[in-house]
Structure 1
Amino acid sequence: MNTIKLSTREKIAYGLGDTGCNFVWQTVMLFLAYFYTDVYGLSPAHMGTMFLLVRFIDAITDPLMGSIVDRTKSRYGRYRPYLLWIAVPFGLSCTFAFFTPEFSETGKIIYAYASYIFLTLMYTAINVPYCAMANALTNDSQERTSLQSYRFALSTMGGLVVALVALPLVDLIGGGNIQKGYVGAMAVMGFGAIALFFFCFANVKERFTAEKEERRPVKDDMKLLLKNNQWRILFILNVLLLTAVVLKGASTMYYVNNVMGRADLATTFMVAGMLANIVGAIISAPLFGHLDKPTIYKILTVISGLLSISLFFVQPDNIFMIFALVIALGVIQMSTTPILWSMMSDVVDYEKTRSNRSLSGMVFSTNLFAIKLGIALGGAAVGWILAGAGYVGGASEQSQEAISAINLLFTVIPGVVFISLAGVMAKYELDNKKLAQIKALLELDAKQQHEDSKPKVHNVELTV
């Protein structure tokens, strides 16, 4: 089994798929909580509860989608066809989520649940195969880290586009009608996502998919993963990580508007963070790709936590220092992301050597569920903490208690969670030495399967 080095074109094409995904998902991360409370008219408590309850649906649909993907066979491959089939409904789902119907309060709550559920289902249907596809493109661990660096650099560029144009689009399309502006802006984002997923589909190639395996029930595959301690570590880590990321992301607009008191800097603030993220994603593979992933990940998460906590002690009018810390945090925190996603691919290979099962779809789908569970916990915590602190959506002024709560949500609380990730990683064992052993075992197994598949030639002595 030869090691595959991917072309720059293919890495870019793969990364642009996540650019499209981020056109939608970064919009959700940055604006949906604020949209629900200050535009749509949902109470913070209702919003927080909805974010959490919808994750119970994901608990079923994410592993189910992973299982479906692992069993898919088509002329386009195992993972690629979903980019073609789901792109359009995924793009539309964002528009539906940011639409404000003329319903009663109860009707609006029901619509919010329905549209948010549809959005998360479409995200699952396209993102599970997209993420799992990385394993089918190359079999080299360092090349996967490079691939993920391209992915997250381009993904963050999608987030940068959102930060740059979303609010101006809302103003331009809305013409003073903010509800109309949001739905129009999200329609533009959705169309961009559709186009980029089509481009990704057309320019990547699956090379490594498992040989024919015995079909087993989904519950059996799930039991295998539950026994995999390396998978369990990454699952817990993703829940905590995304809880922290969403605490910070969902409270960004509140922080800029109410703590800094500089609503005019909202776009600049988000753009600075996105540019920092792009730098972090780009430098990740060149600086850290050859190092032991668990070690460097622990170091970088502790630094991220300390930077986040330090923001709490900066005066709100010290704009330079706030921007400096946010940029530094963005670079460091995003540099960990390609490493983490490369580790998920390593867990797929580890499971193959452990159980002789290729569970790429299941590994990535369950970790996507962990990510969405973290998103839900973070979003719910923001809603509940704001409600408990007396935040009033749309009010020109907030109480000091509400402002203090927002400050903690953006700085100290996520910082503590970032630091805790180093403890979670303490027993993660797939370092460079172990990965080399796994790769050798997989190559030996592939060679044996190739030999077994050759037609047998028997020498037969003919009697004339």
Structure 2
Amino acid sequence: MEAVEKISVGVIKEKTKSKAVKKEAEGMRVSTREKVCYGVGDIGANLVWTTVASFLTIYCTDVAGIAAGVVGTLMLIARLFDGVSDLFMGVIIDKTNTRWGKARPWVLWSAPPLVVSLIMIFTVPNIGANGKAIYMLLVYIFLAAVCFTASNLSYNTMLSLVTTEQHDRNVMNTIRFEFTMIAQLVINVITIPLVHFLGNGQKGWTCMSIIYAIVALGMFITTFAGTKERYKPIKPEVTEKKKKHPVKTIKILCSNKYFILITLAFAIIYTSLGLTGGSRIYYAKYVLGNEMINSTMTLFNYIPTILTIMLIPIFAKKFGKIKALFVGFLFYGAGLILEIAGPVNLPMIYGGLVLQGIGHAALYSCLFAIVGDVVDYSEWKDGIREEGLTYSVTSFGQKIGTGLGTAALGWILAAGNYNGTAAVQPDSAIFAIKSLFLYLPLAITVVVLIIWYLFMGIDKVYPTVRKELDERRKNAKQN
């Protein structure tokens, strides 16, 4: 009889525990409305960052009158500040504790200065060559290293705090990057025509930046108001033994091969994106002979991404995110090879951009979701869960990569004797533009494929990671 009672008590406890786990899982579910509110935040981010990445260099060289080589150097100097600021901001987010959460409030707080800095950077005053260079450096540091770091790092960190449900994270990330691709498509298609419509020269660029700033501010407010951070860390007594100084934490994270690989991947991928995004307008204007072709090129690149990105969660759920990325970059490399085979053949250029767009779908759908997996892996392996710091170092790779890409854009144009005031460019400048748009991105793609091959182990171990972390959290709550 006593044995039967023990069994009955055990069954009751298991049922109670099962109900608690089910309730906790349901509490982590994210509604479609909230996923959309989260996603629109990247529209705001891209109204700032895509505009800067795609058009700031040509604005500086062809409107503000700053030499291409000087622009490249300024961008890299600013990016070094930017990379360091990521680490500080990561620590700040991890130490933030408000009724709105850790990362979410920073999306709101950083929005006003970010959009003001967008207007400032496209309004360079006529204060001489040295004055313009100094102005551009200071404003770019303020925009990228202070405002955008606080905004984008907190926004990225939110993904691991809104929910721990992997499928919801993937869907949120997919919706986010649907909005990202739509925003990037619209920005790249309409910016040059919009600038011409609003007024040639400086007036057009300033008016354009004001419009983008107002819309971006509305998007950031929507994200803040429409989302909620659900994840609550394990009780302090469970993790306090593992808490360390941020520098020591980084050292521990650097012993995690997946942390190193994802940081490296961000740096290399965003170097390539910086090269292709900034050089597309030059390629259209000087290689293909018409800068308005930039809009058509963007359509052929982005529409396949927008259509394909909806299928990536299905593929990733069946085969894993890393395999999805690997296959995506195979498409991307094939597109570059097609373009290299016909560098002035518009059908081949457009065909190559379609293949690249399909590859981009996997990149945008899976890349940031993988960082959330790395956060979980770090907690499982080393007992270290620092969302802000982990995202800050991958963001560091992203910023350094974009900085190198943008700097290389200016330097390689300068090495090719590019002259922004000349109607016709020398052969050396044309070769430089082709290298930026075609040859260097292909070499980078090969390196990224190697990284994803080395990364495939995390997909195999992640089910174990998720199961054991859930068990630890259940035990911590019971204690």
The TM-score bracket by the shorter chain reads over 0.9
Cα deviations by residue, 1:202-224 (Å, 9 ceiling, x for unpaired):
11111113233546422122122
Report the equivalent of 2:421: 394
- Whole-angstrom distance in 2 between the partners of 1:336 and 1:259: 28
1:184 aligns with 2:207: yes
Partner SS state of residue 282, structure 1: coil
Match of 1:209 among 221, 227, 232: 232
Aligned pairs (5 A) from 1:76-225:
76-120=100-144, 121-174=146-199, 176=200, 178-211=201-234, 212=236, 214=240, 216-225=244-253
Q: Answer yes or no: is 1:418 the counterpart of 2:445.
A: yes
Gaps of 5+ in 2: 1-20
8 Å CA contact 1:303, 1:332 repeated in 2: yes
- Are the counterparts in 1 of residues 282 and 433 from structure 2 also a CA contact under 8 Å? yes
| Partner residue of 1:280 out of 297, 303, 308 | 308
Would you say 1:330 and 2:357 are equivalent positions?
A: yes
Q: Is the 8 A contact 1:22 1:156 kept in 2?
A: no
Q: Distance in 2 between matches of 1:42 and 1:124?
A: 25
Superposition deviation, residue 430 in structure 1: 4.5
- 2:372 equivalent to 1:348: no
In 2, the alpha carbon distance for the partners of 1:423 and 1:232 equals 14
Question: Which segment drifts farther, 117-126 or 47-56?
Answer: 47-56
Contact 1:309 1:416 in 2 (8 A): no
Residues in 1 aligned to 2:308 and 2:59: alpha-carbon distance in whole angstroms: 29
Using the TM superposition, give the Cα deviation of residue 402 of structure 1 relative to its aligned residue in structure 2, in angstroms. 1.1
Contact 1:95 1:183 in 2 (8 A): yes
The more displaced of 326-335 and 128-137 is 326-335
Q: Given residue 228 of structure 1, which amino acid in structure 2 is its aligned partner?
A: N
SS in 1 for 2:309: helix
Query: Is the contact between residue 153 and residue 278 of structure 1 (CA under 8 Å) also seen in structure 2?
Result: yes
- 1:411 deviation in Å? 1.1
Match of 1:41 in 2: 65
Partner of 2:435 in structure 1?
Answer: 408
Q: How does 1:5-84 map to 2 (within 5 A)?
A: 5-84=29-108
Q: Which amino acid is the alignment partner of residue 37 of structure 1?
A: T
Is the partner of 2:102 in helix, strand or coil? coil
Q: Which runs of 4+ in 1 moved over 3 A?
A: 1-5, 211-216, 429-433
Q: Structure 1: which amino acid aligns with 2:184?
A: G
Q: Which moved more, 1:233-242 or 1:422-431?
A: 422-431
User: Equivalences for 1:423-462 in 2 at 5 Å?
Assistant: 423-452=450-479
Cα drift, residue 315 of structure 1: 4.6
Q: Return the TM-score normalized by structure 1.
A: 0.93
Q: How high is the TM-score relative to the length of structure 2?
A: 0.90
Cα distance between partner residues in 1 of 2:393 and 2:308 = 26
- How far does residue 47 in structure 1 lie from its aligned partner after superposition? 0.9
Offset of residue 429 of structure 1 = 4.7
Q: Compare 4-13 and 75-84 and name the one that shifted more.
A: 4-13
Residue 279 of structure 1: CA displacement?
2.2
Q: Deviations over 1:297-355 (max 9, x none)?
A: 22321331231132112151x32221122122112223222212111000000111122
Q: Does the 8 A contact of 2:321 with 2:370 survive in 1?
A: yes
Q: Deviations over 1:223-271 (max 9, x none)?
A: 2211211100011111111111111111000000011112232222223
Residues 47-81 of structure 1: per-residue CA shift (max 9 Å, x gap): 11111111221232101101110111001111111
269, 280, 305: which is aligned to 1:252? 280
TM-aligned CA deviation for residue 10 of structure 1 = 1.3
1:90 deviation in Å? 1.0
Alignment RMSD (CA, Å) = 1.6
CA-to-aligned-CA distance 1:139-163 (integer Å, 9 cap, x gap): 1223212211111111111112212
Task: Name which of structure 1's ranges 289-298 and 32-41 shifts more when overlaid on structure 2.
Answer: 289-298
Match of 1:359 among 356, 371, 386: 386
Kept in 2, the 8 Å contact 1:20–1:155? The answer is no
Q: Contact 2:282 / 2:291 at 8 angstroms: preserved in 1? A: no
Q: Amino acid of the residue matched to residue 442 of structure 1?
A: L
Q: Distance in 1 between matches of 2:343 and 2:249?
A: 52
Please say if residues 48 and 216 of structure 2, whose CA atoms lie closer than 8 Å, have aligned partners that are also in contact: yes
Q: Which runs of 5+ in 1 are unaligned?
A: 453-464
8 Å contact from structure 1 (residues 44, 386) kept in 2: yes
8 Å contact from structure 1 (residues 284, 336) kept in 2: no
Counterpart residue type for residue 389 of structure 2? M
1:236 alignment partner in structure 2 = 264
